[in-house]
A = this chain, B = another copy of it.
Amino acid sequence: MKTAGEVVHEFWRLMATNDFHSVVAVLAPDFVLEWPQSNERIRGAGRFAQMNAEYPAHGRWQFTLNRIVEGDNEVVTEVAITDGVQAATAISFFTVEKSKITRLVEYWPEPYSAPSGRAHLVEAISST
């Protein structure tokens, strides 16, 4: 039996092949994805693969795993995603049962301007 963390590493490794149908190997048949920000749910590993395969891309998708926190059967990742033109950050909450991902709740935080009211307490993380 793989650990939940091993299954999630394999998920991102398969995503990086850009053969999104291959990702089904680590998904449970009754896999469910939720995007709370857009109130969207995708049911089934097949629909998830199709959605990724159909998503408009300018080039090959690259995934950089910046952060992973592994609980017993829950894993959270922070991943930078780009196709060379579009760039996004995904925060993904995985539930893993019997070495398969049964559930994924995913957030897509966007950049925003720093509020001026707290400028006296903060510094820039980077100068870019």
Chain A residues at the B interface, C-beta cutoff of 8 Å: 34-43, 47, 50-51, 54-56, 67, 69-71, 74-76, 78, 89, 91, 93, 105, 107-115, 117-118, 121-126, 128
Contacts and interface: CB of A to CB of B under 8 A. Distances in A.
Nearest to A38: B114
29 contacts: A34-B125, A37-B111, A37-B112, A38-B111, A38-B112, A38-B113, A38-B115, A39-B111, A39-B124, A39-B126, A40-B114, A40-B118, A40-B123, A41-B122, A41-B123, A41-B125, A42-B122, A42-B123, A50-B121, A51-B121, A54-B118, A67-B93, A69-B69, A69-B74, A69-B76, A69-B93, A71-B71, A91-B91, A108-B109
A108 B109 CA distance: 6
Given A70-B71, A71-B70, A121 B91 contact: no
